[in-house]
Structure 1
């Protein structure tokens, strides 16, 4: 299924016509991670994001009880425009759902964080392979041994996404993605995954395992699933997130975020 723009993609997701991960969906539009939490946690989380802009770059924030992200998608609905959501209670994943209207309250504050799916079109335009798209899979994501800077109650390890590629394309990938700091920017590591605490590259913590061909190296970008790792560690009583790989698609064009 192809969508001509972000608004159409959100509408089809809202209608339940797309419930799968979103890489490659409405190509050219900025995708976003979601964190929704009670107002009492909002300031701590905002500061956590400000101190950890690589994994948690803020694109938009909705005021308490509001579910329309007026900066990034004025016709969007945070409650229904993501294919799949996760409900966490006391740090435990208790449910995955396709909309969150039954959980909504006037106390909830929503954050949209940049997602690396946004720059994948730029990578493809540079003839850099995107393996999870080639294999029709979700991107593989891993919890690392890199600790984020704490803020208030929030602390936790950085999560990364991985895309394998021939070693001679790594510098080109760095150059391409460094243009997009609001959606994680340049990779944080490439090569030996054990150096960032990943023991088995074939067993991601989130998403799907993908093929790494002979002569290729894994390249790792900071990932907006990082807040979910923090949530599992610090155990706030209630948080809603996107399901990893199932993103909110904004009206912002990818090129509008490019620095040069």
Structure 2
């Protein structure tokens, strides 16, 4: 199946393709008009403190939904949606270290696990494109570049660490318009957190992202940075829970929720 065909499919169709191993790539540009989410899955004993971490850091960790304990289904996110199989690639952490990156976690599922669905900036990319703003990583068929910054998140118990951001290069006029557009989506990171000189937020080489892929930046463009839902993964490396499962950066869970449901205008 080709990428254009995938791009035209519904979230439910895409989840089926992922579940059956047909699609294992990044999800940027897919499911236009629908919300994509980051995932953090933790044992119940760690879930309350992580929930507070999200509440203290709503910009990088905007909560969309939280599962019932031990339930791999979140009906509010979509019909026939299975947390264990519907993400193209996962990351499994034990004691803060990455143990594996499987494409299915059914064998790892436990009755004490709680899933957190966190807003993703891929959601507002479709609105940017509809307004004539090009998204470089989509144009170049790459994963969005993500960087750890020198900005620290608000700590909650053992959870703390640097803010992680995504970067999209834009001309100045497009950056201004992007601020206006993404400000309407506070539930999926909202407006940028920084524009311009990356060194001011502790990023010294845009050609070497911490996650994702580098993209071309033209001489007449500015780097525009949004808070990123990979931020919890940096906090997990500090908290070092006995077990944690997340999405692999750029490989999101696609929901049946519509982008417009998260627009404040």
> What TM-score do the two structures reach when normalised by structure 1?
0.98
Aligned with residue 234 of structure 2, among 216, 226, 229: 229
Q: Which residue of 1 aligns with 2:57?
A: 52
Q: The residue matched to 1:97 in structure 2 has which SS? A: coil
How far does residue 64 in structure 1 lie from its aligned partner after superposition? 1.1
Q: Which residue of 1 aligns with 2:174?
A: 169
CA distance in 2 between partners of 1:178 and 1:75 (Å):
31
Query: Is the 2:63–2:117 contact (alpha carbons within 8 Å) kept by the matching residues of 1?
Result: yes
How far does residue 69 in structure 1 lie from its aligned partner after superposition? 1.1
CA distance in 2 between partners of 1:258 and 1:234 (Å):
33
Is it true that 1:216 corresponds to 2:221 in the alignment? yes
Q: Which residue of 2 aligns with 1:152?
A: 157
CA distance in 1 between partners of 2:97 and 2:158 (Å):
16
Residues 1-260 of structure 1 aligned to structure 2 (within 5 Å): 1=3, 2=6, 3-260=8-265
CA distance in 1 between partners of 2:66 and 2:185 (Å):
19
> What TM-score do the two structures reach when normalised by structure 2?
0.97
CA distance in 1 between partners of 2:238 and 2:217 (Å):
31
CA distance in 1 between partners of 2:244 and 2:9 (Å):
32
How far does residue 154 in structure 1 lie from its aligned partner after superposition? 0.8
CA distance in 2 between partners of 1:242 and 1:4 (Å):
21
CA distance in 2 between partners of 1:60 and 1:17 (Å):
27
- CA distances 1:70-110 after superposition (whole Å, capped 9, x unpaired): 21113200000000000011111111000101110001000
CA distance in 1 between partners of 2:260 and 2:13 (Å):
19
Deviates more, 1:43-52 or 1:3-12: 3-12
Unaligned runs of 5+ in 1: none
How far does residue 216 in structure 1 lie from its aligned partner after superposition? 0.3
How far does residue 4 in structure 1 lie from its aligned partner after superposition? 2.7
Deviates more, 1:148-157 or 1:212-221: 148-157
Residues matched between the structures, number: 260
How far does residue 258 in structure 1 lie from its aligned partner after superposition? 0.8
CA distance in 1 between partners of 2:210 and 2:189 (Å):
19
